[in-house]
């Protein structure tokens, strides 16, 4: 009845569209940046869902022998660095937002478009 094998992919698409909706209808630049973060987390859900196996264990062999069935470690290696780098990229975006606030005095994207010259 419920398509269990499609649920994480549907959730990933839903999160992507949520983040995009937040960017499109944002009234505050910091809100835009946080919606970008939500957009990025949709890729985490998708990547982990691709590499998952029911009944398997984590790919850490400190206490189990290397013959046991595990989930896919390559996908996790791709995501590990991404999570930390995302925080610094958000810091860079927020530095630009702080500069915009200094120069223009307002943080609403609609007002910013009308100030030219």
Residues 29-88 that bind another protein (CB under 8 A): 30-31, 33-35, 37-38, 41-42, 44-45, 48-54, 56-62, 66-67, 69-88
CB of 28 to another protein, least distance (A): 6
Q: How many chain residues interact with another protein (CB under 8 A)?
A: 82
Of 60 and 117, which CB lies nearer to another protein in the complex structure? 60
User: Is residue 114 close enough to count as binding another protein by CB under 8 A?
Assistant: no
Spatial contact of 42 and 16, defined as CB atoms under 8 Å apart: yes
Q: Rounded CA gap, 32 and 82, in Å? A: 20
What CA–CA distances, in Å, run from 75 to 9, 40, 71, 96? 15, 15, 9, 32
Applying CB under 8 A, which of residues 43, 97, 106, 112 lies at the interface with another protein? 97
User: Is residue 101 close enough to count as binding another protein by CB under 8 A?
Assistant: yes
Of 49, 21, 14, the residue nearest 35 (C-alpha): 21
């Amino acid at each position: 009845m419920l398509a269990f094998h499609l649920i994480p992919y549907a959730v990933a698409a839903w999160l992507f569209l949520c983040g995009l909706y937040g960017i499109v209808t944002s009234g505050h630049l910091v809100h835009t940046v946080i919606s970008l973060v939500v957009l990025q987390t949709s890729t985490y859900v998708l990547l982990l869902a691709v590499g998952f196996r029911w009944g398997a264990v984590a790919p850490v062999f400190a206490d189990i022998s290397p013959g046991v069935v595990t989930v896919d470690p390559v996908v996790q290696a791709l995501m590990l660095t991404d999570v930390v780098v995302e925080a610094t990229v958000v810091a860079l975006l927020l530095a630009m937002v702080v500069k915009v606030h200094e120069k223009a005095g307002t943080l609403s994207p609609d007002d910013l478009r009308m100030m030219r010259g």
